[in-house]
Amino acid sequence: MRIALEAAQDAAARGETPVGAVVVDPATGEVVAVGANQPIGSHDPTAHAEIVAMRAAAEKLGNYRLTGLTLVVTLEPCAMCAGAISHARIGRVVFGAEDAKGGAVVHGPKFFTQPTCHWRPEVIGGVLAEESAELLRGFFRARRKPSTAAHPREGGDPS
């Protein structure tokens, strides 16, 4: 989670929502790939940290299936990312802060509990949750302007 938090801080430094993700091989402890939010800079609405990390891992391993690997992410995955996690066959998801507004694992659609979900990873939430949440809160607090209502992806607080 510390590596994911570092990636989240890098995203914040680029003006992106501070979310970081790491794909790890639990058998060896190897960090296979690291990702950080980059939808603004890459002009790609799908460039969430989880997607970026899984794409890099799949490229590195030469396989779109990431069976048995662990995805560590600083924020509860959204529905898009949960779907990609399922399609990639990630074995375990470890996340930091819960996301009551946009999360889809323990909030919202609870994606992995749906009967249409064909692959369900083990899920562990709350790892370094307060540190992850504070990084997000601090980022949005610094960007907020009292006279302007912020767009959710550009300044709305997900926590």
Nearest to 33 by CA among 21, 41, 44, 16: 21
pLDDT higher than 60, residue 93: yes
For 99-142, the pLDDT digits (tens) are: 999 999 999 999 999 999 999 999 999 999 999 999 999 999 99
Please say if 16 is a catalytic residue: no
Q: Are 96 and 129 in contact (CB under 8 A)?
A: yes
Buried-state track 94-128, b at ≥16 Cβ within 10 A, e below 16: bbbbbbeebbbbbebeebbeeeebeeebebeeebb
Q: Which of 16, 50, 76, 98 is catalytic?
A: 50
Q: Are 53 and 79 in contact (CB under 8 A)?
A: no
Residue numbers in the known binding site are 48, 78, 81
For 17-34, the pLDDT digits (tens) are: 999 999 999 999 999 999
Both tokens of residue 52? 């970026």
Q: Between vectors from CA 149 to CA 144 and to CA 155, what angle results, nearest 5°?
A: 45
Run of H or E including 56: helix 49-61
The reported pLDDT for the residue numbered 151 is 47
How buried is 157 (Cβ within 10 angstroms: 0-12 exposed, 13-18 middle, 19+ buried)?
Answer: middle
Q: Could you tell me the pTM of the whole model?
A: 0.89
Nearest to 75 by CA among 105, 54, 55: 105
Residue numbers in the known binding site for Zn(2+) are 48, 78, 81
